[in-house]
Amino acid sequence: MDRFSALEVLVAIADSGGFNRAAVRLDMSPAMVSTHLARLEERLGAKLIERTTRRLDLTPQGRHFLDEARTILSLLTQAETAVRRGTGGPSGRVQIDAPGAIGLRFVVPALPALRALHPEIVIDLSVGDRGTVFRTDGFDLLIRVGSPNEGQGHIVPLGETRFVQIASPDYLARRGTPGTPEELLEHDLVNYATAASPIGHRWRFWRDGEMHWLRPPGVATFNHGGAIAAAVAAGVGIGQTLEMLVAPEIAEGRVVPILTDWNRNGVPIQLVIPEDRAARPAVKAVADFLRDNVDWSGRR
């Protein structure tokens, strides 16, 4: 039985979440999908997938082998594409996960230049509220602000940003300007929330080597940095966000930084690449492009 077909079956089952959906995706019968998997497990001498009446789960051996299968299939696809099209450049699909506002403000505008440089690479960009999570979850590249724990992948520094507190000139004219973080509790606040923290993340304040945290009650919460910037600019209230996400609004005077003696320290912007994917030519090409061709400060 074709070993590569067996790898494709394993990846399709994992990605689609079921045998029948994998069969549709691969245009083969469910029985053939089961046969490919059974013979693969027999060849390896290990169970890769645990099946129950309600769900399907990869075993630890299955999760490890799935990563290897993806790598093998990606390299095969790249080699076939290069031969067919007579190119020696990187090719294949690269899956990127980025916080919503960062993906839309920085990655999407860079895609035309990336496509011009690497026309054989296909980008899958996921944007959402996973931006504080460093789990790779099947992605080739994670764009994150902050530092992952040691051993969570290959790290490519992209730049640096910082946290800023912002309000619209109209709001400050109506409500006054707070002079300390504690005075924020007397104001209308716009919070960043995620599925993991639906009531809003804590605000951080750093000065003179000391870190303080504040969990202010918000009048509105959003899971997207762009929505926070728009709400603050509209006068909804005061927000805390990353300077990279509001640099144009600050430069144009639509929002005003406040409490500027706090949070002067930089926060790293980084690419996290799973170790087993860092050597893939297409992944490396996209990582190098994002490092060398995007201004992550947001100032231009």
Does the structure show a pLDDT above 70 at 55?
yes
Does the structure show a pLDDT above 70 at 81?
no
CATH number for the 89-160+267-293 domain, one of 2.60.40.10, 3.40.50.720, 3.40.50.2300, 3.40.190.10? 3.40.190.10
Does the structure show a pLDDT above 80 at 44?
yes
Q: Quick one: 228 exposed, middle or buried, by C-beta within 10 A (0-12, 13-18, 19+)? A: buried
CATH assignment, 3-83: 1.10.10.10
Q: Which residues contact 264 (CB under 8 A, 6 or more apart)?
A: 162, 206, 207
What confidence tier does 18 reach under pLDDT thresholds 50, 70, 90? confident
In the chain, list all ranges with CATH 3.40.190.10. Answer: 89-160+267-293, 163-258
**CA–CA distances in Å: residue 14 to residues 23, 55, 173, 201, 212:** 12, 12, 55, 32, 43
Three-class SS state of 88: coil
267 bridge partner residues: 161
| Pairing label, strands 189-192, 220-222 | parallel
| Angle formed by the axes of helices 281-293 and 108-117, nearest 10° | 120
The two structure tokens encoding residue 111: 């895609």
What confidence tier does 83 reach under pLDDT thresholds 50, 70, 90? low
The two structure tokens encoding residue 186: 């007397």
In the chain, list all ranges with CATH 1.10.10.10. Answer: 3-83
